[in-house]
Structure 1
Amino acid sequence: MNKRLIWLACIIALTGCSLTGCGNKVQETHLRGEITGLGNDTLYLYGTDGTYERIDTILVKEGKFDHTLHVDTIVSAVLVFNRGIYIPLFLTKKEDIMIQGSADALEFLTIEGSTPNEEYTTFQQTLKAQGKLSDNAPTAKAEAFIRNHPSSLVSIYLLNTYFVQKPNPDYAKIESLIEGMSGTLQDNPFIGQLKENVGKMKEIAVGKTAPYFRLPNAKKEMITRTEQFKDKYLLIHFWASWNEPSMKEQAKLRKINRDYKKSKTFGMLGISFDLDKAAWEKAIKQDSLTWQQVCDFKGLNSEVAHQYGIVNLPSNVLIEPNGKIAAWNVSEEELKQLVKKQDAN
């Protein structure tokens, strides 16, 4: 996928525990931040063990925030800024995590507290020090880090970011990098899950048959691709009302809907990963999302999220009339050309 992603590790805690912990001996972890120029803002912190999803809302006042968590072991998380920037975090019990930097360079924040956070900061600072890099340079540096740090949790994040979440992943390279990791990481539940997700990604690559789903709309009508969108190109938009980048994307979708709503060969469907029905319905009404919308209110634990390998929002997939996947995160211009070609046939 070609957008900055929500890290897959935000879906699976590295040790199989959620941010709230999986035992009774929970400890307070403090997440603090001082980010110049951020002003008053709202951030979101994701963390989950695969069966329970948690979304923490963090309020920023004058560039500062202080948030308390309860964890009993090291877990993975991701801090999401409304500007569409995603920062990975590693949280441990009784740890003070300090985040500092500038709102003008959110990708290069300094994160202190626990070795993985500091290793990630060093990696990012290395990229920053190199100045303008070629498209392949960050990937090469990520590979070097992974091979030189076979026991670092950051290696898992870099593997997913720079190799798994690509439009056309090199699965042989991914498998090679995993094989080079230490026994500690090899035994990590995340690696097992990563292998499983790589397998799923192969199943949802361009040219593969799109997974079947059946989801309810606001009227509790069950919507499927094969019934409501038979013999049409179908653009599925994956979103959530709590995800700011998703909401910003709606303006483009409204334009696409206006341009193609009379087309007999094209349809649109919004699949939301909201948890709250009221928030979902409010977003649909306020943003005038008049095309078909569905949601099962299971968040990113929804079966359709797993079926389509959705790890970042917003995302979209274009499905051909024959049910094959035509493209991931298709642009408006790409969509125009594909529909035009279909209409001409």
Structure 2
Amino acid sequence: MNRTTLFILLTLVLAGCGSAGDRFKIEGRLLNMDQGEFYVYSPEGGINGIDTIRLQGGRMSYEVMCTAPTTLVMVFPNFSEQPIFAEPGKSVKIEGDASHLKEMKVKGTKTNELMNDFREQIATANPPQVLERAEQFIGDHPESVVSNYLLRRYFISGATPDYAKALQLCRTMRKAQPKNALLAHYEQQLKQLSRVTVGKRLPRFSTVDVDNKKIDNATLGKGLAVIMAYATWSYDAQRMLQDMRMLAKSSKGKLKIIGFCVDPNRNQCRAIAKRDSIPWPVICDGKMLESPTLHSLSLFDIPDNILVNNGVVIAKGLTNDELKQRIERML
């Protein structure tokens, strides 16, 4: 199942470091795109939530407080992403063409240029080769923050997450970065994610829905249940929502559903759920695919799903047709 990485409405981004010692500034130019806006976020919490970058006249400038090295991630219109590695007191320049986003360059620091080199290595590689080269890069550079990003991007949040491999690589990186709190978090998270497998009980989770009602394992009750991740901008996700609505209605209460909406605005998500009369709990924390609860349940794709029966995971990551057929056979 292909991962439609994140969300995002339009455009490209650029961030960077300014001349001040506690700022990071990005300046750049994007050819073949005059104006637009896009989101930028930090998986490490380097910025608060999701920020918006505006492109005007094909140029952009973005400055952010930066007191420690961190990673910023820009999401393109085609849902691919570009990491930018921020450092206090530094600045970078981005050179790109909206019609050839894979060729974008981020210049100004050695770390970003190291990422440029990796992107060149995988420019024409097939998916298995990309994973192979990402693993090799991490092995060659376990001390680099670029490796931290590659670990998450290709082995944790990729189209086909490999948690066993990710845990192995993470432990290697922790030896080179013993004080890195993010890697320590990843290691604990990966231990948990490895339990979200078919034939085992669903890990315990607890959160609140858009109406601030508590949602946890007990919400699923006994019998057949679906946990699904979706977004209002994804056609495949909307199709899955429609099919689940019909199945829930025909099941007469036998099928329980919990929905995780990865839209960036919680209030808008609540309004849409009310407008569409979604009959099950909807969870949206505004953190999109970086939601801790989503990660704890190993939900990284859009759409994605876990099929549970009496608290035991019986399937995960099914296509819409596969999920529909599996449920119909069991109801």
Residue type of the partner of 2:239? K
CA distance in 1, matches of 2:133, 2:292: 35
Residue type of the partner of 1:169? D
Residue type of the partner of 1:66? S
CA distance in 2, matches of 1:247, 1:321: 27
| Correspondence for 1:15 | none
Report the Cα offset of residue 199 of structure 1: 0.6
Contact 1:4/1:86 (CA < 8 Å) preserved in 2? no
Report the Cα offset of residue 298 of structure 1: 7.0
Over aligned residue pairs, what C-alpha RMSD do you find? 3.5
Contact 1:74/1:92 (CA < 8 Å) preserved in 2? yes
1:79 is paired with a residue of what secondary structure?
Answer: strand
Matched, 1:109 2:97: no
Matched, 1:332 2:320: yes
| Correspondence for 2:119 | 124
Report the Cα offset of residue 73 of structure 1: 1.8
Report the Cα offset of residue 306 of structure 1: 5.0
Contact 2:39/2:75 (CA < 8 Å) preserved in 1? yes
Residue type of the partner of 1:332? N
CA distance in 2, matches of 1:35, 1:54: 24
Change (3 A) 1:256 1:182: closer
Change (3 A) 1:273 1:139: closer
Change (3 A) 1:289 1:208: farther
| Correspondence for 1:270 | 259
| Correspondence for 2:297 | 308
Contact 2:228/2:304 (CA < 8 Å) preserved in 1? yes
CA distance in 1, matches of 2:175, 2:287: 33
Q: 1:280 aligns with which of 255, 262, 269?
A: 269
Deviates more, 1:218-227 or 1:248-257: 218-227
CA distance in 1, matches of 2:284, 2:161: 30
| Correspondence for 2:11 | none
Deviations 1:193-224 (A, max 9, x none): 22112112112233332234455445555445
Residue type of the partner of 1:3? R
Residue type of the partner of 1:115? K
1:203 is paired with a residue of what secondary structure?
Answer: coil
Contact 1:270/1:291 (CA < 8 Å) preserved in 2? no
**TM score, norm. by length of structure 2:** 0.79
Residue type of the partner of 2:162? P
CA distance in 2, matches of 1:142, 1:210: 30
Residue type of the partner of 1:280? C
- Matches for 1:38-77 after TM superposition, within 5 Å: 38-47=33-42, 49=44, 53-77=48-72
Residue type of the partner of 2:218? T
- Matches for 1:190-229 after TM superposition, within 5 Å: 190-217=182-209, 220-227=212-219
Residue type of the partner of 2:89? K
Task: Give ranges in structure 1 of 5+ residues lacking alignment.
Answer: 7-18, 20-24
Residue type of the partner of 1:307? S
CA distance in 1, matches of 2:214, 2:298: 22
CA distance in 2, matches of 1:119, 1:51: 20
CA distance in 2, matches of 1:51, 1:204: 29
Report the Cα offset of residue 151 of structure 1: 2.7
Matched, 1:294 2:282: yes
Q: 1:155 aligns with which of 120, 123, 147?
A: 147
Q: 1:90 aligns with which of 82, 85, 89?
A: 85
Residue type of the partner of 2:297? Y
2:115 is paired with a residue of what secondary structure?
Answer: helix
Residue type of the partner of 2:242? K
1:140 is paired with a residue of what secondary structure?
Answer: helix
Identity of aligned residues (%): 21
